Amino acid sequence: MARDKIALIGSGQIGGTLAHMIGLKELGDVVLFDIAEGVPQGKALDIAESSPVDGFDSKLTGANSYEAIEGARVVIVTAGVPRKPGMSRDDLLSINLKVMEQVGAGIKKYAPDAFVICITNPLDAMVWALQKASGLPAKKVVGMAGVLDSARFRYFLADEFNVSVEDVTAFVLGGHGDTMVPLVKYSTVAGIPLPDLVKMGWTSQARLDEIVDRTRNGGAEIVNLLKTGSAFYAPASSAIAMAESYLKDKKRVVPVAAHLNGEYGVKDMYVGVPVVIGDKGVERIVEIELAGKDKEAFDKSVAAVQGLVDACKKIAPDLL
Ligand code: A3D
């Protein structure tokens, strides 16, 4: 059986980490792509030179032309520019929107059968634009955010309770960013919902609220510490989990930015919801009933994503 080919569009902090992880996990051969000359080639060679030490077989190459991604089974997109001081959210949106148009055209031409995972921010709008620009079926194009947001929530909870991260599950809905909706009653330690743990005296409601808040601001916390960029290890791990579920048809149930067409009362938008990922892409959208404060928070989050999508439509009306 030939090895799967995985294309990484964008060879920056996350792209390089993804390539290294794919090698270490022997998930397939890697093509690193970037517009910066030498960077994808240099990272590919550097990681390839680590392969004899770590004992993995994976062919790693770097490229500046889209032909190199031909036939990829998975494409992970991190291409774009970060928000710089003085740059508005709309400036960032219009720059990265153009990037998504280029990337979408490249995928359409050379990897139309791939499962595509978008990571570029602003996530929920960029994955929407990438699906439009690539013309791929919506169930084959997803955004990575929920796995990362719920991983952060799980980590903070495990730390709070002094238990293994493996025994903590978390449920996060909504758009990526400060409007995300961590659902406390569906988050558990070994199956025990968090509200029960409060009753059992494991933590207080006030502590739980602080942890939810820290989760919502998890990205900003890392940016403030690093000063020169944003998180890349945990985002890369999260995208790898999604790629692995597709490549191995694991049918994992994970929160991703998925295309909604009526589910949760949302039409033609990407919003973070739990889905099943198997070898057909998004095989099922898990639709839970939301009520009260959770529904309010979800609707607020959807409205924020809608605002970004409307801005995209204004900048690039021909994407529709
Ligand atoms: P960075 O290290 O800047 O890498 C981005 C790469 O994209 C650079 O190497 C650029 O040269 C390249 N690039 C720019 N324009 C193009 C183009 N037109 N075609 C191909 N490549 C191009 O960033 P990073 O790896 O740290 O982050 C990548 C993206 O992920 C950013 O948009 C971040 O905001 C985003 N991000 C999202 C999350 C989520 O949870 C959704 C988390 C962390 C980062």
pLDDT in tens, 42-51: 999 999 999 9
Q: Give the model's pLDDT for residue 318.
A: 81
Is 99 touching ligand 1 by the criterion CB < 6 Å? yes
Helix (H) or strand (E) holding 155: helix 146-161
For 308-311, which contacts have Cβ atoms below 8 Å and span 24 or more sequence positions?
308/93, 308/122, 308/124, 308/125, 309/124, 309/125, 309/128, 309/269, 311/90, 311/93, 311/125
What lies within 8 Å, CB to CB, of 128 at 6+ separation is 259, 269, 270, 309, 312
Question: Which atom of ligand 1 is least distant from the CA of 149?
Answer: 40
The alpha carbon of 133 and the centre of ligand 1 are apart by a number of angstroms equal to 18
Is 270 touching ligand 1 by the criterion CB < 6 Å? no
Q: Give the model's pLDDT for residue 320.
A: 61
Is 7 touching ligand 1 by the criterion CB < 6 Å? no
Is 229 touching ligand 1 by the criterion CB < 6 Å? yes
Question: Checking DSSP bridges between strand 168-169 and strand 188-189, what pairing results, if any?
Answer: antiparallel
Q: Quick one: pLDDT band at residue 86, thresholds 50, 70, 90?
A: confident
User: Which residue of 8, 33, 34 sits with most ligand 1 atoms within 8 Å of its CB, as the best mutation to test the pocket?
Assistant: 34
Rg from Cα positions in the chain: 19
Q: Give the model's pLDDT for residue 192.
A: 98
Is 236 touching ligand 1 by the criterion CB < 6 Å? no
Short-list 313, 44, 298, CA closest to 183 = 298
Is 217 touching ligand 1 by the criterion CB < 6 Å? no
The alpha carbon of 295 and the centre of ligand 1 are apart by a number of angstroms equal to 32
Question: Which atom of ligand 1 is least distant from the CA of 144?
Answer: 41
Sign, CA dihedral 207-210-215-218, equals negative
Q: Give the model's pLDDT for residue 83.
A: 77
Is 242 touching ligand 1 by the criterion CB < 6 Å? no
The stretch 128-132 carries a mean pLDDT of: 97
Tell me the whole-structure pTM to 2 decimals: 0.97
pLDDT mean across residues, the chain: 95
Residue closest via CA to ligand 1's atom 29 equals 120
User: Which residue of 32, 78, 100 sits with most ligand 1 atoms within 8 Å of its CB, as the best mutation to test the pocket?
Assistant: 78
Across 35-79, where does the E strand assignment appear?
60-63, 74-77
The alpha carbon of 288 and the centre of ligand 1 are apart by a number of angstroms equal to 32
Is 120 touching ligand 1 by the criterion CB < 6 Å? yes
Whether the predicted pLDDT of 9 surpasses 80 = yes
The alpha carbon of 40 and the centre of ligand 1 are apart by a number of angstroms equal to 13
Other C-beta atoms closer than 10 Å to the C-beta of 129 total 28
Is 189 touching ligand 1 by the criterion CB < 6 Å? no
pLDDT in tens, 18-70: 999 999 999 999 999 999 999 999 999 999 999 999 999 999 999 999 999 99
Whether the predicted pLDDT of 1 surpasses 90 = no
Query: How many residues make up the chain in this entry?
Result: 320
Whether the predicted pLDDT of 89 surpasses 80 = no
Residue closest via CA to ligand 1's atom 35 equals 120
pLDDT in tens, 256-266: 999 999 999 99
The alpha carbon of 160 and the centre of ligand 1 are apart by a number of angstroms equal to 32
> With contact defined as beta carbons under 8 Å apart, do 251 and 280 qualify?
no
Catalytic residues: 176
